Amino acid sequence: MINVILADHQSIFRMGMASALVAEDDIRIVGQPRSFEQLLNGLGNFRAHVLVLSSAFLGRLAEIKQTAARQHTAILLLEEPGSVILTQFSTDVNGVMQRSADESTVVRCIRHLARGGRVLRLVRSQPVESQQSPVGLRLRQRLTQLEMRIVALVAHGFKNREIASHLSSTEQGIKNSLRKIFDKTGVCDRLELALFVLHHGIVLRTETEAHPTPALNSLAAIQTFRDLGYRRTVN
């Protein structure tokens, strides 16, 4: 059995990856820490084979690496889209995986690291923003600035009342805007909107997020939208 700790500051991605991994008979998630202290405690107590680590923890990487080495835990670092800071850390971990990796790639990487292998860092030949499809560019032209901000917050997992608070609006106002967004994009619900954003490579950022990368960057994360009951609703 491969024990895995998921230490990721992006809750939707973390929950989506967890949903994908628990479906594998040979993989078990033994921790999902949200703080540095919880992470070190998990490494010390749960004998994880692989630690999936997000950039939010890079400031304490030396301590994490030291503890992981004592427990023979491989570190898989998640590369943020458009990031230029991970190069200096790539030699300090056992592997680097882009968030855009699909479910099968995630599973293969974890199994490979658990067997003592390494995962090479994959570098995009172009910035993420320049890889948007024509459909994605047209979407930006069709939606208003407010609607784009709402789409970004939806993709980051915010609920309507939270979006309303961020945008100084009301829940009913957000619901009305979502209906217009669904009409303009040709989707029926939040899940399809998230799939649309992912499929067309639309990079979304919000002014309110602590970390500037989209929370939804993998098909593994799509399951979370189903788990949260986001189908066929604008709530």
Q: How confident is the model over 42-63, as a mean pLDDT?
A: 90
Residue 119 included in any domain? no
Do 9 and 105 lie in one domain? The reply is yes
pLDDT digits (tens, 9 = 90+) for 144-161: 989 988 988 887 778 899
Label residue 174 by pLDDT band (50, 70, 90): very high
CATH number of 36's domain = 3.40.50.2300
- State which residues form the domain around 172: 129-227
Whole-prediction pTM: 0.55
pLDDT digits (tens, 9 = 90+) for 214-224: 344 444 444 44
Judged against a pLDDT cut of 80, whether residue 107 lies above it is answered with yes
Total count of domains within the chain = 2
User: Starting at the edge strand that comes first in sequence, how are the strands of the sheet with 27-31 ordered?
Assistant: 27-31, 2-7, 50-53, 74-79, 95-98
Do 107 and 183 lie in one domain? The reply is no
Do 96 and 161 lie in one domain? The reply is no
Domain end residue (candidates: 85, 114, 143): 114
52 φ/ψ angles, rounded to the nearest 5 degrees? -90, 120
Q: How confident is the model over 96-104, as a mean pLDDT?
A: 77
Residue 121 included in any domain? no
pLDDT at 130: 44
Report which of 217, 222, 216, 213 is spatially closest to residue 55, judged by C-alpha positions: 213
CATH number of 138's domain = 1.10.10.10
How many percent of the chain have pLDDT more than 90?
A: 30
Report which of 2, 79, 3, 19 is spatially closest to residue 225, judged by C-alpha positions: 19
How far lies 220's CA from each of 19, 50, 184, in Å?
Answer: 7, 18, 26
50 φ/ψ angles, rounded to the nearest 5 degrees? -135, 135
Contact 211, 220 (CB under 8 A): no
Chain mean pLDDT for the chain:
76
Residue 163 included in any domain? yes
Label residue 48 by pLDDT band (50, 70, 90): very high
Q: Any idea how long the chain is? A: 235
